[in-house]
Amino acid sequence: MSPFTFVVRTPDGVVAQGDCDFVVVPTTRGEMGVLADHAPIVASVAAGELRVSLDGRETRVGVGPGLVEVLDNLVALFVARAAAG
């Protein structure tokens, strides 16, 4: 899988960012999986756990409500709160 970039931003700044090859975002309509070259989309983020994978290693970030934008191989979350775990 081709790597792409993710970033998690809160009003206080960037909480997590980096390269990944798969992301699972908790949305208000269920979980949304994202791979490289995903179609552009904006969705509402629900409080839950963002899962980010790179080379088989998974990182989890607790996120609060907000928005996610997927565009040009960037997954950008703009959330009220986040805690890297």
Q: Could you give the CA distance from residue 62 to residue 28 in angstroms, rounded to a whole number?
A: 15
Q: Domains of the chain by range and CATH?
A: 4-84 (2.60.15.10)
Q: Extract the tokens encoding 38.
A: 């995903």
Asked if 51 and 57 count as a contact pair (C-beta separation under 8 A), the reply is no
Q: Look at residue 18 in the predicted model and tell me its pLDDT.
A: 96
Q: Look at residue 59 in the predicted model and tell me its pLDDT.
A: 95
Q: Look at residue 2 in the predicted model and tell me its pLDDT.
A: 86
Q: Look at residue 74 in the predicted model and tell me its pLDDT.
A: 98
- pLDDT means over runs of 10, the chain (85 residues): 94 97 98 97 98 96 97 98 86
